[in-house]
Structure 1
Amino acid sequence: MLNRNILIAVFIILAAAICGYWYFYSADSYRHSDITDLSIEYNVDNELAQAKQKIHNDIIPAKIYVNSPETKEIVLTFDGLPDPTTTDRLLDLLDKYNVKASFFIDGSSAAIDNDSLKKIHERNYTIGNYTYVGLSELDKMPQEEILLQLLKTQKVIKVTTGTAAEIFKAPQTTYTTALLKTAAAADLKAAVKTNVYVKKDTIDTDAAADALIKTIIPGSIISLDVATPVNRVQYKPEKKDERPAFDKQPGLKTGVDNNIVRQNIVDVTERILKSMDKYNIKTTDITNMRLVSELKTAKNNNINIASISIKKLQEKIIFLADTLFFSKAQAQNIDYEYIRQKNAGTLAEPIKMILTTEPSLSFAFAGLTKSDTVYDILNRLKRMNATGTFFVMKNDIDNNPSMIKDIIASGNEVGIGIRSLKNSNFYTVCAEVDYVRSRLESMGAYPSIAMQPWGAVADETREALAAMGLTMVSPYINAVRSDMKGYTAAENVVNGLFGKYVYSLGRGWIVYFRLDYYDDDSMAGKVMDLIKRKKIDNIAYNSFYDDPKVNTRNNNSAYTIKSVGQIMSNSAYRYAFSSEADVPEYLHSQYNQMAGQALSFKSYIKERFIGNPAVSIDSNAYGFSLAEMRSFDKTGQIHTNDPVIFFTFDDWGTDAAINPLLYVLRKHNAKANFFVLTHNVMNNPNLLRSIAMDGHDIGSHSDWHKPMTTQDARTNIQKRSVQSREAYMQDLHDSYKKLETVVGDVVINGQPSLTRYFRPPQLTVSRMGLESLYANGYTYVIDGSYSTHDYDQPNLLSMLNDIKTGIYENGKVRKGAILVMHMSDNAEYTARALDLLLTANEQRKDGDPAKFIPARLSDYLVDDYNQSNPKYTKMSVSKDSSYNIGGEKYEQ
């Protein structure tokens, strides 16, 4: 009996020890390792299926709460769940000042900290859904990911409080019809559109709070950030292990002031509440705000203001002699309230980069107060054979109407410039637009675009421009910096603006020049000339035998400078990002072609990995058995009897690097394969789209260029993976999704440009990496038979000889050879070497064993092409002894 009791006691002690260990170590690790799996209570598989069905049944979209000028009170919201201590202090402050507020909760924080959410609920504050992680640009996410963000947060709120949220918000998000339908499927009734965001680090004194509150218009929705929004795509420089520079992307640097003292959200809130009490500003619940339908985005001047005639509106307007600041009552008398209602809350979305593949970009100008500077710009544009867009403000047209007439007469475009005025609102902006537009129309110009060149753009300004039927633009590149006012050398300005690594501008970019800024009246013109010479003229392909200035008939590689309106109206080159409906089903990011074929992983690495001669367990492979390594392809060549070779280009670059490649390939009617490093590609999607529109294959080279393995520094043997499986899976998904978004709908001669091909960074592979590719639906993993190391070539001759080495063996074409090259800016000689090589190849006679045919991989990786089969899988020789590759015929 005694022994039995001792055994029971020992068992209890052991059980307690195990539970304690689990609680303090395993449980804690579990809590922090993956917050999406904290509890089975937060599983949303059933809700996800139901929501998808609702969307399929065409659910009515959620509505949007927007600011309400007719309301005397304001709405105060906190975005993100505070920590427990901050929550207590904020709630005490709200009680002290008798203030109503709404808390938008990020589900991931609430899943960890239930107590804070419960306290907010118990005090009867409105609780909204702020997505699971406070995700920005929610409208740009795939539908299923949006649903997961909203549904998981709904579940956390419901489980914790017993009541699900009815409203939601996401930072930096446009509330499109598709997003609102998705939200409605998650049982959310309305979105909330903030019109005043408080920059908490600027509210460092009571005086700063007073200054803010004095500018608040009654009926505003004011938001304070508690949590930092999570960016959908983060672009930041990162060191890579590969050779210099192919993944070091240039970009305009954003300065960060490290001297800013970060303000505590509680202190900021107290200062604001004290100021509101001082000026007797009351708060109300969000449900008392104006509820509207979708905030449609005004793009491409497609806004139709029903049957309203702008000219009739203009006839009703009685302009005051000294001011354009109309009260709401006056505005109602001239029908602006009517067009506001017809506009239904639409906000004009500023266009910074025109989505186009046209080899053109725009120069835009504002600040037209110095006539000498304006006429200098006009003369320089004429010498460039360029046209620009001049944004005319009320004071410009009042003070110097003859100069505005000269701008119009010169063939340049005029748009409507919106002044940044302290007390402006929807009605005053409409009135100012009408005034400037009517004056310009009397001069024979009919502007359709507008820009506010400086100052923060208010939502009411965007709403007014949409209601007035204007397309709003904004600078992609601002050619003025605040510390350069007194500069006397254009070289210093340009170097300061662009730095060392921004080699060129891009298609569809809008470059803005403020003409009243520099002390030197000629400086703006000098800067414009230098930007054209250093950042635009260098984009063209220019060799000693093919200069676009001489070969004007055939060399179409130069970029032109056109007005914003000219580029926008050229529909032959315009495009929109792909929606799922535009992309072939087998190319959808969620479609896994590998799973559909039931191809085993063992067969995948044997049949679908096209390796390279150096592949070995000692140098560039990790995690495989010796038997698996023996099955790897080491030729890096496509099996074929055709004299074809495959030019492949890795990484990413600027227009100055990639545009010459595209021109050379067009010039010789050659198709190629581009493996794109995608982390920076959304900053210049027009360039990627241009590659696809030229009929080339587009594959992935990963998002962040992290190799699958790393080497031991002493032995150079591959020894471990660089990142976790989850991180690598996400990288592969993100990379493909970006490619799908930009080029997923491009089909040239019946052949999609987008492929599910992958080029491993540094040509290294690992078991985990290949398993991740397999799970993500990549159909072929492609190294290559020869790397030209073009990023390291000392001169053109060396580059040319290296390409030849990859193509020829004993004077004959290496059939199926895959050449690894780069499209990055440091691959200096690649385009010219290819031009010489292709020119010489065209001069060879048909049947010459050294004559090759450039082809796309997609022409040969068909019918479940099997790399483990040593016999060629496809041969394109037809009965008339000609090769038909990529839709083009080549005589044998």
Structure 2
Amino acid sequence: MKRKSIFIVVLIVSICIGVYTHKNYKIDTSSGKIIISKNSKYDASEEIKKALSSLGNSKKADFIANVDTSADVISLSFEGLSDRDTINKIVNMLDEYGIKATFFVPGIEAAEDSSIVETIQKSGHDIGSGTLSSTKNMEKLSSEELVMDFCRTNKILKIVTGKDPVLLKCNSTVYNDNILKAAYASGNKYVVDSNHYLNYQSFKNYDQAYRYVNSLKRGTIISIKLEGVLDSTEYKGKEDKTTIDEQIDIDKKKSKKEKDENIIQIVRWLLKSIDEQKKMVAKVSELPNVEVYNNLQRIKNTIASQYAKKDTLKIKANKNNTLGNKTNDNNNSQNSIDLINFNEILEKNNKRQAPAVSEFYTTQKALAYTFRGLSNEVSLNNVLTELDKVNVKGTFFVTKDEILKYPDRINKILSKGHEIANGGITASTALLSKSPEEICKEIYEVDKLLKDKGIVTNAYMAGYGYDNSQIQEALSAVTNISSLKNYELFTYSKSPTINKYKNMDAEDIVFSYFNVNSYMSLRKGEIVYFRLDSNLFKSDNVVSNMIDIVTKNYVQNGYVNKYNEKSNSYSLEQKPLGYSVVTLGDLQKTFENSSQLGRYNIIKNPVPMKKRNYEDALEMMKTNYIGNVDVDTSDFTEQEKSLLDKGGTIDTKGENVIFFTFDDWGGDPVVNEILDVLNKHKVQGTFFVIAKNVDINSGISNANPNLLRTIALNGNDIGSHNYNHELLGTNREELGKSLVKSYDVMNSVIGDLDSLKQYFRPPTLILKREGLAAVFESGYKYSISGNISTHDYIETSAQNLVNYIQQGLVKNKGNVVVMHMNDQAYYTAEALDIFLTNNEKGVYGEKYKIAKLSDYLSN
């Protein structure tokens, strides 16, 4: 029985070997001997012979690498093959996002399982040669060796796919002339290179993937290795700075299943990031045709199909319905609109309204200029010239009429690196009387016209910045169409195109509109709107001149008030600000994270402070008030007076410490200068803020939550200086409301950061018993005045201020220095820099430790 079993096993193995041999080898017995050689199915001897004979003609394959283009286009390629399940999942994800990629397949792997390659090809992806076995450093091979490798691979891929592979990508290889000539001789018209490589170890989370995609230059080729680790030539520029050796160690510890799961996750994160940032994806073979934005027509169908596949709307169409003649953009758009039931979309949207974005909640050091009106070509050309001079990129909202009438002007705007956005169809006030359905159609039609020209935008401006409930409802509804899902409705925070400035010069307009009593500079995230075709201006260079003046005086620089002791008044002086002006698209897609400034959300329901009863508040006055020697305490009881702190220092257990604190509020030039000094010396301070200045609902025109968040992101403490700077002598009930509101407003801006502290500073340091009790009743844990009050807002030199601080220092204590961040604090940052430099050099004897209050006080 045992012998019989062994015989059966041997027979089965022999049959398998025979089948494999018959399939893969040919057996020749004509000479009387058994000669076994490779099956002729993949025999490339004729192709090799032909290629070798043509090597001498000096023709070389063209080189495809990252391209320099104005189009927001990237390309995806995959190197190698994985198992059937992994490839199926990747192909399905690509299909889900409507993206076509290029797979560079090794010949041997294609021969071993051709069905996987066929699956890739059926989904519309390109197949390129990944050489025979992904050999590295092929520049070291001879021309003959290269030809043999390339020809054999091409033969296999042609039999599997039915097409001659024209693309070739070598693994970790320097493309020298030998390779380019051998590639061309072997039938590969193009060789492909990339400096962006990913593998299954590339991202630890979606946030990293998003940042990676956001950092990509237009025209980048991303190469995704389906198996293995990256080598030293491929690993540069990755966020995760794991060494090559560490990668290899990790690779050895992971199973094949884990690696496959990881690469699938990497691809999923990558595709989602591309989709959310509205990047266009072209095949590698199409990249040479996007070097100039005007030549995007070859990827037009690719882009259109991406958005068509992602659309989940119920479209009223049958199999015979088409979008009409591809050369007639107007008819295409109308046909597409007729296929969509906008009423159904509006019903499903249930009256929701999109917010109108007049400025961005962002910590990015940038703002936006937007434009409308292409009919005045002279004005447009003047503006484009000026934008180049001041290194500004703008966003131009165009209408349907302008798209059809002025394609050359639109192309010129794009060629300068600016952005085109959706300006709708109706620009006049007639738009305000249109129904949400009509507005939906306008938005969709213009978006379709732009996409047909290879232009993708997520920005819509209604008319000349109009905004009403119908417009907001329409914009909210169209975002249910997946191709418009990230659309936003834009207005503006500033627009100097108003009737009162008719026939005025640019300089007069700017300094009237941007009144320095209110606006010391433009702020991060602002949207400044200019109309180019207005009849208000007496010449065609008024708008370009305004751009010059605004950029130099309110973006690159800002204003600060400088005190003059003799006249007892202030004069305006400029300080550098260094903000940039970028496109709306840049601001839209740049989100704040642990390593990047950008957009953030206002918190709708921040956690409030926990209130106390009156008796507990009176007890806290005795222990948690840090006072000032000059404060009047006459309305406190005798017992309370004896317990109230008057020294103004903090117990630091004998350490010499200085706490720099900054009161009130100011514009970006003053506050940024203080932050720059603190960051230069790698220290933090504590900022006591008048909260109405950061309240988006306060009604003031220059409310600036972005600046508050910037202070917090730089690691500083934030405390309250009350909502309206109310003194502690204010009616206790009203005072209590302001104290709570102050904290809640700041909490809505920075409540997700570890910066807002339950600290309070009495405005002007004035102290009243009932007022101080209200502070602690409201939930604050400390009220902090300080022992060195600098009055820096009336100082006449930085050195005087430095000397004053030095003279007030107390040894072996925590010195609380009261400074300011208002628009009169001209010398504050300079004095701070001098003092910190001196302290680091030991000028004051023992070096003082610089700390923020939360380093020694509980929150």
TM score, norm. by length of structure 2: 0.55
Q: Report the CA distance shift for 1:359/1:311 in structure 2 as closer, same or farther (over 3 A).
A: farther
CA–CA distance in 1 between the matches of 2:713 and 2:391?
Answer: 27
CA–CA distance in 2 between the matches of 1:851 and 1:538?
Answer: 35
Shift of 1:483: 1.4
Structure 1, residues 608-636: CA drift from partner, whole Å, max 9, x if none? 01001112xxxx33521223212211110
**2:834 maps to what in 1?**
836
Structure 1, residues 145-175: CA drift from partner, whole Å, max 9, x if none? xxxxxxxxxxxxxxxxxxxxxxxxxxxxxxx
CA–CA distance in 1 between the matches of 2:489 and 2:599?
Answer: 17
Shift of 1:756: 0.6
Shift of 1:539: 4.5
- Matched residues, percent identical? 33
**2:847 maps to what in 1?**
851
Q: Report the CA distance shift for 1:339/1:646 in structure 2 as closer, same or farther (over 3 A).
A: same
CA–CA distance in 1 between the matches of 2:588 and 2:322?
Answer: 30
**1:255 maps to what in 2?**
none
Structure 1, residues 232-261: CA drift from partner, whole Å, max 9, x if none? xxxxxxxxxxxxxxxxxxxxxxxxxxxxxx
Matched letter for residue 728 of structure 1: L
CA–CA distance in 2 between the matches of 1:455 and 1:702?
Answer: 35
**1:536 maps to what in 2?**
555
Q: Say whether 1:727 aligns with 2:737.
A: no
**1:388 maps to what in 2?**
394
**2:440 maps to what in 1?**
430
**1:356 maps to what in 2?**
362
**2:684 maps to what in 1?**
671
Among 555, 560, 564, which residue is 2:584 paired with?
564
CA–CA distance in 2 between the matches of 1:317 and 1:424?
Answer: 28
CA–CA distance in 2 between the matches of 1:602 and 1:424?
Answer: 61
Shift of 1:725: 1.6
Q: Report the CA distance shift for 1:342/1:492 in structure 2 as closer, same or farther (over 3 A).
A: closer
Shift of 1:374: 1.4
Q: Report the CA distance shift for 1:775/1:310 in structure 2 as closer, same or farther (over 3 A).
A: farther
Structure 1, residues 639-677: CA drift from partner, whole Å, max 9, x if none? 121121000000011112111111111111111000001
Q: Contact conserved, 1:800 with 1:837, CA < 8 A, in 2?
A: yes
**2:822 maps to what in 1?**
824
Q: Report the CA distance shift for 1:622/1:798 in structure 2 as closer, same or farther (over 3 A).
A: same
Matched letter for residue 860 of structure 1: Y
**1:778 maps to what in 2?**
780
CA–CA distance in 2 between the matches of 1:311 and 1:696?
Answer: 57
CA–CA distance in 2 between the matches of 1:345 and 1:316?
Answer: 30
CA–CA distance in 2 between the matches of 1:703 and 1:622?
Answer: 26
**1:64 maps to what in 2?**
none
Q: Say whether 1:631 aligns with 2:643.
A: yes
Q: Say whether 1:791 aligns with 2:796.
A: no
Shift of 1:443: 3.2
**2:768 maps to what in 1?**
766
Q: Report the CA distance shift for 1:409/1:466 in structure 2 as closer, same or farther (over 3 A).
A: farther
**1:490 maps to what in 2?**
507
Q: Contact conserved, 1:728 with 1:772, CA < 8 A, in 2?
A: yes
SS at 2:711's partner residue? helix
Structure 2 unaligned spans of 5+: 1-275, 280-306, 479-483, 563-574, 593-597, 696-702
Moved more, 404-413 or 781-790: 404-413
Shift of 1:526: 0.8
CA–CA distance in 2 between the matches of 1:556 and 1:537?
Answer: 6
Shift of 1:453: 4.4
Matched letter for residue 511 of structure 1: V
**1:448 maps to what in 2?**
458
CA–CA distance in 1 between the matches of 2:310 and 2:740?
Answer: 41
Among 741, 751, 754, which residue is 1:744 paired with?
751
Q: Contact conserved, 2:620 with 2:776, CA < 8 A, in 1?
A: yes
Matched letter for residue 731 of structure 1: S
Q: Say whether 1:477 aligns with 2:494.
A: yes
Shift of 1:540: 10
Q: Report the CA distance shift for 1:777/1:608 in structure 2 as closer, same or farther (over 3 A).
A: same
Shift of 1:389: 0.9
CA–CA distance in 1 between the matches of 2:314 and 2:419?
Answer: 23
Q: Say whether 1:374 aligns with 2:387.
A: no
CA–CA distance in 2 between the matches of 1:447 and 1:310?
Answer: 23
Q: Say whether 1:522 aligns with 2:534.
A: no
Shift of 1:445: 1.4
Shift of 1:853: 1.8
SS at 2:357's partner residue? coil
SS at 2:816's partner residue? strand
Matched residue count: 514
Please give the residue correspondences for 1:252-263 in structure 2 after superposition, counting only pairs within 5 Å: none
Shift of 1:501: 3.2
Shift of 1:705: 1.2
SS at 2:692's partner residue? coil
SS at 2:492's partner residue? coil
Q: Report the CA distance shift for 1:311/1:770 in structure 2 as closer, same or farther (over 3 A).
A: farther
TM score, norm. by length of structure 1: 0.53
Matched letter for residue 376 of structure 2: K
Matched letter for residue 726 of structure 2: K
Q: Say whether 1:308 aligns with 2:313.
A: yes
CA–CA distance in 2 between the matches of 1:315 and 1:668?
Answer: 65
Shift of 1:457: 2.8
Matched letter for residue 481 of structure 1: I
**2:806 maps to what in 1?**
804
CA–CA distance in 2 between the matches of 1:842 and 1:696?
Answer: 20
Q: Report the CA distance shift for 1:446/1:301 in structure 2 as closer, same or farther (over 3 A).
A: closer
Please give the residue correspondences for 1:9-24 in structure 2 after superposition, counting only pairs within 5 Å: none
Q: Report the CA distance shift for 1:305/1:772 in structure 2 as closer, same or farther (over 3 A).
A: farther
Moved more, 697-706 or 570-579: 570-579
Shift of 1:472: 0.8
CA–CA distance in 2 between the matches of 1:646 and 1:797?
Answer: 19
Shift of 1:366: 1.1
Q: Say whether 1:341 aligns with 2:347.
A: yes
Shift of 1:421: 4.7
Matched letter for residue 566 of structure 1: D
CA–CA distance in 2 between the matches of 1:309 and 1:839?
Answer: 67
RMSD across aligned C-alpha pairs, in angstroms?
3.6
**1:646 maps to what in 2?**
659
CA–CA distance in 1 between the matches of 2:472 and 2:315?
Answer: 18
**1:756 maps to what in 2?**
758
Please give the residue correspondences for 1:91-130 in structure 2 after superposition, counting only pairs within 5 Å: none
Q: Say whether 1:707 aligns with 2:713.
A: no
Q: Say whether 1:680 aligns with 2:693.
A: yes
Q: Report the CA distance shift for 1:354/1:639 in structure 2 as closer, same or farther (over 3 A).
A: same
Among 621, 626, 629, which residue is 1:610 paired with?
626
Q: Report the CA distance shift for 1:310/1:485 in structure 2 as closer, same or farther (over 3 A).
A: farther
Q: Report the CA distance shift for 1:461/1:664 in structure 2 as closer, same or farther (over 3 A).
A: same
SS at 1:355's partner residue? coil
SS at 1:733's partner residue? helix
Structure 1, residues 333-378: CA drift from partner, whole Å, max 9, x if none? 6432233334333322111111111111111111222111112222
CA–CA distance in 2 between the matches of 1:445 and 1:540?
Answer: 39
Structure 1 unaligned spans of 5+: 1-298, 544-554, 710-722, 747-751, 865-892
Structure 1, residues 437-480: CA drift from partner, whole Å, max 9, x if none? 23322333111111124274343322222233321111011122
Please give the residue correspondences for 1:227-238 in structure 2 after superposition, counting only pairs within 5 Å: none
**2:92 maps to what in 1?**
none
